Structure 1
Amino acid sequence: MNSFRKALIERAFHLGRISSEYTFKISKPATIKQTQWRQKQVSKPIPSGITELAAQTASRIELHWDLTPEIVTAPEFDDQFPTSGMFEFNFFETDLSLLEGWKHSFTHWQEYRKEPNPFEFDELFPIFGLINGDLIVEVIGERERHAIYYLDHENGSGDWQRLASSYMTFIQTLSNLWFPNLEWHDSLELFYDHDQKQLSVNTPFSSRWIDLIYSYQLSS
């Protein structure tokens, strides 16, 4: 079993033990024929990190958790820590459709922001579309190739925040943070290192969060 797949299953299992609402589904890894088939459906090369996750870990992953107040009694949860998280990955839905509707904000950026976007529209590949309308993308151009960025559809504080240096670094960091929601506000921003310009497990807040989850693993 791939080491990341094993770690993901173990983390999901522990979250399930302390969650009231919980879903976890993980498929087999994609075959070479399946990754080749999907690439034929997409007009741009699929970033290698996405294919790697599908071929080595799983072609589909779904994880939803909601911590049970009766078990997770730390008072910090009321005011500081997230109480739920969600992660969904489906390699067979990888395409460029998530970028639809964003092109105008690049060609007419003056209507949306004071300065141009740091990257061109064609330099981006969408990797996660969020329920709130925001988008997480990978840079596929020469500048900062493979870097992961957050796009806020309302140009809020999360707009163009750099989340990780690569797709797999991003996924592994999410796993180490117990898969918080992908939205910036009240979730990813809590674990963000503004000096390093990336999500991090090493910020004081992240360390407290990880220690707390581990403490409930041991006591539950």
Structure 2
Amino acid sequence: MAAKSVIRVGTMACGLSVTVVAGALLAPGATAVPSVVAESSKSATAVSASTPTIRKLRKTKRVKIAGGHRTDSRDNGRPVKLIAAALNVPTAVFRDAFARVTPTADGSDPDSSQAQANKEILLQTLAPYGVTNARLDEVSNYYRYFGASGVKWQQTKAKARAKVRRGKIVGFTIQRAGAGYSSNPRIKVAGFPKLKVKAKVAYGTDLATNGRVVRLRVVGGSY
């Protein structure tokens, strides 16, 4: 039996040195297939010559985020949940205050005198919570809703990817949380039509992040 010899081939750019172990006893006419060994300063891992050295074990899938703009039937299409959160008052408190104002019949902006009267009614309830006239104007203008034309309030769409391993969803990456969601949006993952995914929406006083998607999780369905 021929003695084995070690031939140093070279050093890879990543710092791994590659050696070839040759000299094994072969049958007549057979061709030697060297064993490739990747060595690092910490450990050495054998890799079969017929196996790719890089294998993609995880991939991602596109997540479709739709809807998320439902409102309470008592609010006539207005995003009361978003407005209340921005003003830092309970939703029920703002809803009760808003129920006392006099809206215009066609959904258009009221004249100046009516607008001022409505604002005074709102502040009677909201001022004890620290809401000022200026803040009420800012939030009301930001979430202005034009019911007659169907134009909704300001929104930023959320964006996410699903992490897939061995055909299963193992997690989600929220690339952009978005803002302006008044309810949980509908979630679909490309390639997994029967999977049920639930979104969690968070609210706060920052208009740029109020009503943002902070969590996605699988709650049922099948693969």
TM-score (norm 1): 0.22
The structure in which a higher percent of residues are strand is 2
Bigger Cα Rg: 2
The structure in which a higher percent of residues are helix is 1
